[in-house]
């Protein structure tokens, strides 16, 4: 497995290739909630002052309550999930790591770049994305006595009943959370690492102080405390995912899986369909390891749904 990265997004490149104005593109290439959590919690002092202990403490308290984090597990706020993903391979000496081929590719790229050997089967470390991106598969992590077990739950807030947060008390285990997906706040750059205090401390030494901005701390705390918003959002995402499946199925494309934030479909030729939709200025996600898989996020309003329906009839 190589260290090559490929991601959703990249609207600038899509505009360069297919034309149009960036503002008029519909980006369905990511799994970001199109109706984000409101950012009303930000104050002037959040922008002007260095984040203090109280702000970090309030976020951690809210996180422990929202995710039911065991007392023995350590919690650290991070600038998104990508930052710890890049750092985690460096806190231990390199060895072998088991990472699925069809999953979020940043993990393999980070471990490979740090000198680890990517293998299938028995390994010194194991990384699982749960639910998996892009097919939504759920995993049962194996023996926690490995040198390192990483459980990436960036998309698990749509199905909290499936979380492996209880494993965060296990030695050598880290659980990752993200605010960019369920809360739709990718630009906030806020994530959490939960788990073995020894490993968390090693990450703290690498990441340095004030690692999360004041605005991110305020919004993140408000979001984690807003249980009514979370409940309502899960219900809406479930309904919208079902509508998207029906729309794609009616167009002759079979549902493979996904989460309620993104859906994966089996099509005759994924690249052809991506180009067809791109000609309507709708951007989607295809994968280098499959000629037939295409992933779509959820449209965010009636106009966007209508645009997709019209393009699929082409």
Assess if residue 1 is contained within a domain. no
Residue-by-residue DSSP string for the chain: -------S--HHHHHHHH-S-GGG-EE-SS---SSPPP-TT--HHHHHS---HHHHHHHHHHHHHHHT--TTSEEEEESTTHHHHHHGGGSS---EEEE-SSS-THHHHHHHHTTPEEESSS-SEEEEESS-TTT--------TTSSEEEEE-TTGGGSGGG--GGGGGSTTEEEEEESSSTT--GGG--EEEEE-HHHHHHHHHHH-SS-S-HHHHHHHHHHHH-HHHHHHHHHHHHHHHHHHHHHHHHTT-EEEEE-SSEEEEE-S-HHHHHHHHHTTTEE-EEETTEEEEEEEE---SHHHHHHHHHHHT-
- Residue 145 banded pLDDT, cuts 50, 70, 90: low
Q: Is the per-residue pLDDT at 146 higher than 80?
A: no
**Are 186 and 271 found together in one domain?**
no
**Are 210 and 108 found together in one domain?**
yes
CA torsion 270-276-281-286 (nearest 10°) is: 10
Domain boundary among 173, 205, 225: 225
Closest CA to 230 of 34, 66, 15, 51: 66
In this prediction, residue 5 carries a pLDDT of 65
> How many separate domains does the chain show?
2
Q: Give me the CATH number covering residue 68.
A: 3.40.640.10
Q: Is the per-residue pLDDT at 151 higher than 70?
A: yes
Q: Is the per-residue pLDDT at 134 higher than 60?
A: yes
**Are 248 and 133 found together in one domain?**
no
**Are 184 and 247 found together in one domain?**
no
In this prediction, residue 144 carries a pLDDT of 58
Assess if residue 4 is contained within a domain. no
Assess if residue 280 is contained within a domain. yes
Q: Are 30 and 285 in contact (CB under 8 A)?
A: yes
- pLDDT tens digit string along 155-183? 999 999 999 999 999 999 999 999 999 99
- Residue 2 banded pLDDT, cuts 50, 70, 90: very low
**Are 99 and 57 found together in one domain?**
yes
| Chain centroid to CA 285 | 14
**Are 143 and 248 found together in one domain?**
no
Q: Is the per-residue pLDDT at 205 higher than 70?
A: yes
**Are 56 and 85 found together in one domain?**
yes
**Are 145 and 262 found together in one domain?**
no
Domain boundary among 186, 208, 225: 225
Assess if residue 5 is contained within a domain. no
Assess if residue 267 is contained within a domain. yes
- pLDDT tens digit string along 5-43? 677 778 999 999 999 999 999 999 999 999 999 999 999
% of the chain exceeding 90 in pLDDT = 93
- Residue 314 banded pLDDT, cuts 50, 70, 90: confident
- pLDDT tens digit string along 221-246? 999 999 999 999 999 999 999 999 99
**Are 128 and 247 found together in one domain?**
no
Identify the bridge partners of residue 128 per DSSP, sorted by sequence position.
151
In this prediction, residue 15 carries a pLDDT of 93
Phi-psi region of 143 (alpha: psi -120 to 50; beta: other; left: phi over 0): beta
The domain in which residue 118 lies consists of 44-225
**Are 135 and 214 found together in one domain?**
yes
Q: Is the per-residue pLDDT at 210 higher than 80?
A: yes
Average pLDDT over residues 80-87: 96
Domain boundary among 225, 242, 258: 225
- Phi and psi at residue 67, in whole multiples of 5°? -100, 5
- Phi and psi at residue 89, in whole multiples of 5°? -60, -15
Q: What is the pTM of this model?
A: 0.94
Assess if residue 281 is contained within a domain. yes
**Are 286 and 213 found together in one domain?**
no
- Phi and psi at residue 149, in whole multiples of 5°? -130, 120
Residues in the chain, overall count: 314
Closest CA to 3 of 111, 84, 163, 102: 111
- pLDDT tens digit string along 37-64? 999 999 999 999 999 999 999 999 999 9
d(CA 110, CA 297): 25
Q: Give me the CATH number covering residue 288.
A: 3.90.1150.10
Assess if residue 6 is contained within a domain. no
In this prediction, residue 3 carries a pLDDT of 42
**Are 306 and 181 found together in one domain?**
no
Assess if residue 88 is contained within a domain. yes
């Amino acid at each position: 497995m190589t260290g090559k990265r490929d991601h959703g997004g990249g609207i600038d490149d899509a505009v360069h290739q297919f034309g149009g104005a960036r503002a008029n593109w519909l980006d369905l290439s990511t799994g970001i909630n199109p109706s984000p959590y409101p950012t009303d919690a930000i104050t002037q002092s959040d922008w002007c002052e260095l984040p203090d202990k109280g702000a970090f403490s309030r976020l951690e308290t809210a996180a422990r309550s929202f995710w039911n984090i065991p007392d023995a597990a350590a919690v650290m706020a991070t600038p998104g999930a990508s930052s710890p993903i890049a750092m985690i391979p460096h806190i231990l000496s390199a060895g072998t790591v088991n990472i699925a081929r069809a999953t979020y590719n940043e993990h393999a790229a980070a471990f490979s770049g740090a000198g680890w050997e990517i293998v299938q089967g028995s390994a010194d470390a194991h990384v699982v994305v749960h639910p998996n991106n892009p097919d939504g598969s759920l995993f049962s992590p194996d023996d926690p006595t490995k040198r390192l077990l990483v459980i990436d739950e960036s998309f698990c807030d749509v199905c909290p009943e499936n979380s492996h947060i209880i494993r965060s008390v296990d030695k050598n285990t880290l659980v990752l959370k993200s605010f960019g997906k369920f809360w739709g706040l990718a630009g906030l750059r806020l994530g959490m690492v939960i788990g073995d205090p020894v490993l968390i401390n090693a990450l703290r030494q690498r990441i340095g102080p004030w690692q999360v901005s004041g605005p991110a701390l305020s919004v993140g705390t408000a979001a984690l405390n807003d249980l009514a918003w979370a409940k309502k959002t899960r219900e809406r995402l479930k309904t919208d995912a079902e509508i998207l499946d029906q729309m794609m199925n009616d167009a002759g494309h079979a549902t493979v899986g996904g989460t309620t934030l993104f859906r994966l479909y089996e099509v005759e030729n994924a690249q052809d369909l991506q180009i067809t939709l791109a000609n309507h200025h709708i951007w989607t996600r295809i994968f280098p390891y499959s000629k037939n898989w295409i992933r779509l996020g959820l449209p965010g309003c009636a106009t966007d749904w209508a645009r997709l329906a019209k393009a699929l009839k082409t």
